[in-house]
Amino acid sequence: MKNWVRVCTTTELLPGEHTVAWDGDTAIVVFNYDGDFYALEDRCSHEDFELSAGSFDADEATIECALHGAKFDVRDGRVLCAPAYLPVPKFPVKVEDGAVWTCDDRG
Ligand code: FES
């Protein structure tokens, strides 16, 4: 069974915004892309650096790492350009009771 972590209310995370939540030791960056919520591990797959420090392009649904410029699709974590070559883990998101929830479901 998943232990869902409450991120924020839906009104606190508007389209084009992102925020960070923690599930235990796992930092999770949660995006509102065009009214839908997506969650990725807040850790660039290139080096250990927080993706949430980068810029979220809410038109393209991408996050660009602030350290060396790798880009990822916020909807599924796939890598779009070097210097990263591996995807970022994607986590589940649900909206319930007016709030956004996520969890690290890797067991
Ligand atoms: S740490 Fe993200 S591109 Fe290098």
- Residue ranges making up the domain that contains 17: 5-102
Instruction: Please give the chain's pLDDT, 107 residues, in tens.
Output: 579 999 999 999 999 999 999 999 999 999 999 999 999 999 999 999 999 999 999 999 999 999 999 999 999 999 999 999 999 999 999 999 999 999 999 97
Task: Please check whether residue 78 lies inside any domain of the structure.
Answer: yes
Buried b (16+ CB within 10 A) or exposed e, 21-45: bebeebbbbbbbbeeebbbbbbbbb
Task: Please check whether residue 10 lies inside any domain of the structure.
Answer: yes
35 φ, ψ (degrees, to nearest 5)? 95, -10
Task: Please check whether residue 107 lies inside any domain of the structure.
Answer: no
Residues with CB under 6 A from ligand 1: 44, 46-47, 49, 65, 67-70, 83-84
Which helix (H) or strand (E) segment holds residue 69: the answer is none
Task: Please check whether residue 98 lies inside any domain of the structure.
Answer: yes
End-to-end CA distance of the chain: 9
| Rounded distance between C-alpha atoms, residue 27 and residue 68, angstroms | 20
Compute, in angstroms, the gap from residue 91 CA to the centroid of ligand 1: 20
State the total domains in the chain: 1
CATH number of the domain residue 33 falls in? 2.102.10.10
